[in-house]
Amino acid sequence: MVYDKLSSITKRIINDPNAAIDNDEACELATTTHNAIDLIISANKIRETYKADDTFTCSIINAKSGACSEDCAFCPQSAFYKTKARTYPLLDKSKIVERAIEMWNGGANKFSMVTSGYALTEKELDLICEAAILIKEKTGLSLCGSLGVLNEDIAERLKASGLTNYHHNLETARSFFDQVCTTHPYDDDIKSVKIAARAGFKVCSGGIMGLGESWEQRIELAFTLKELDVESIPLNFINPIPGTKMAERPLLAPMDALKCIALYRLINPLKDITICGGREISLGDYQSWTFLAGANGLMVGDYLTTMGRGLKIDMEMIRNMEI
């Protein structure tokens, strides 16, 4: 029954990317598909149709770490929690540029400067803009920033310095946000995503699966992102860090993580879906299934506060998938 339904949905989306699944279909598939394989097969066909030639890797630098004023329940960088995450102010320009060159030479296509905190100060903005100009001079990386909430002036200056992408996660569904963050409203994040889009950035916005939200709330987030028309959706999976509010949260089972990716592809057939933090710990041996489940991008190298498994191994995995 589910198989028949999925085959007809797959054909429908392959014929017309605007005929993606709606909220009711997504909820039904999420709750009736106990075996993720059928969903994965469907998502892979859709990825092959629309994203086969659009596979990419992202890399980041945690340019400023810890001491954040926000209380995001999963985040070891929040000043509300006592964790082992490193705390340091904005790195020197030379260090940021050096890391970008290293990632470019290692095969990454995109590079993002990421800072902890609600928003950049004026001085930090100056340094980030100077680093961006140098990175553009020295590499062919597509440049992204994840630098907190935006206003029009900050967006304009970042754009003029060569950033083409802006990343700002919504983290979770609006209906679950109060369980995740209480120091700023959901609408601040929505507003930043809209400002980034208006400034002409390719906007990257997604969230974390496994914070305790329901399948309906995972789907709610997917539809909020669809409505915002973001170009790229980064999906993270819970990595419970000791000291944070989410320290005791269980990991997502690998098949549930793959199911999330597949559902996001069925909801957003034309968008980039990038698999980011928590990949190693949640997917384990199934990491090489990320593209089969519908993703077309992978974050490589280290994450913000946790280590990746190394650029070389990730690049080899992508080559071996021969997609």
Between residues 73 and 143, which has the closer beta carbon with respect to ligand SF4?
Answer: 73
CB of 236 to ligand SF4, least distance (A): 10
| 143 contributes a contact to ligand SF4 by CB under 6 A | no
Stretch in the footprint of ligand SF4 (CB under 6 A) among 55-63, 69-77, 85-93, 121-129: 69-77
Rounded to 5°, angle at Cα 77 from 218 and 92: 120
Q: Output 72 or 150, the one with its CB closest to ligand SF4.
A: 72
Question: Applying CB under 6 A, which part among 11-19, 75-83, 214-222, 282-290 lies near ligand SF4?
Answer: 75-83
Helix (H) or strand (E) holding 285: none
Provide the minimum distance between the beta carbon of 156 and ligand SF4 in the complex, in angstroms, as a whole number: 22
The helix/strand/coil state of 143 is: strand
Residue 62 engages ligand SF4 in binding (rule: CB under 6 A): no
* Shortest reach from residue 77's CB to ligand SF4, in Å: 4
Give 3's contacts (C-beta < 8 A, 6+ positions apart): 38
Q: Exactly one of 42, 116, 282, 296 binds ligand SF4 (CB under 6 A); which one?
A: 116
- Closest separation between CB of residue 201 and ligand SF4, Å? 18
CA distance 296 to 291: 6
Residues 173-177: contacts with CB under 8 Å, at least 24 apart: 173/207, 173/213, 173/217, 173/218, 173/220, 173/221, 173/224, 174/220, 174/224, 175/217, 175/220, 176/211, 176/212, 176/213, 176/214, 176/217
The distance of closest approach from Cβ of residue 131 to ligand SF4 in the complex, given in angstroms and rounded to an integer, is 19
Residue 63 or 267: the one with the smaller Cβ distance to ligand SF4 is 63
Q: Does 70 bind ligand SF4 (CB under 6 A)?
A: yes
Q: Crossing angle, helix 311-321 and helix 93-106, to 10 degrees?
A: 30
Is residue 77 at the binding interface for ligand SF4, with CB under 6 A as the rule? yes
72 near ligand SF4 (CB under 6 A): yes
Q: How many CB atoms lie within 10 A of CB 286?
A: 17
Site residues, ligand SF4 (CB under 6 A): 68, 70, 72, 75, 77-78, 116
